[in-house]
Amino acid sequence: MRTGRFAAARPHRGVIHAGCELFQTDTADFADIILPAASFLEFDDLVASYFNLTIAPQTKAQEPIGESLPNQEIFRRLSRAMEYEDAELYESVGPFWIIYSAESRAWATSRS
């Protein structure tokens, strides 16, 4: 139930508010639709460091739970449903991930 200042402040009452969340948050409480996001443990990705200029592989530890999807896949599906055609919207980590991951493992093994 939407009560309080936040609900009263919604500028466009006819607009559907969607959220993409891993778990129920305060923001999700006010969403009309929740798209189930996967945790970082549930998909392969490349991540940038917060502290220096490096990128590193993020390796999937388990399959996504239920109907959850990585944010990138949710955005790809929304783009497709809205008939956007920009090729960049449909790129995946794909082959670069495989090459980078293999090289990283080889480098880490050579250092131990």
Same domain for 22 and 73: no
Residue-number span of the structural domain to which 83 is assigned: 39-112
Same domain for 86 and 44: yes
Same domain for 12 and 48: no
Same domain for 53 and 105: yes
Per residue of the chain (112 residues), give pLDDT as tens.
455 565 666 666 677 888 899 988 888 888 888 999 999 999 888 788 888 888 887 888 999 999 999 988 898 999 999 999 888 887 776 655 566 666 666 666 666 6
CA dihedral sign, ordered 17, 60, 76, 55: positive
pTM for this prediction = 0.65
Strands (E), the chain: 18-21, 33-36, 45-48, 55-58
Question: What domain count does the chain have?
Answer: 2
Same domain for 22 and 66: no
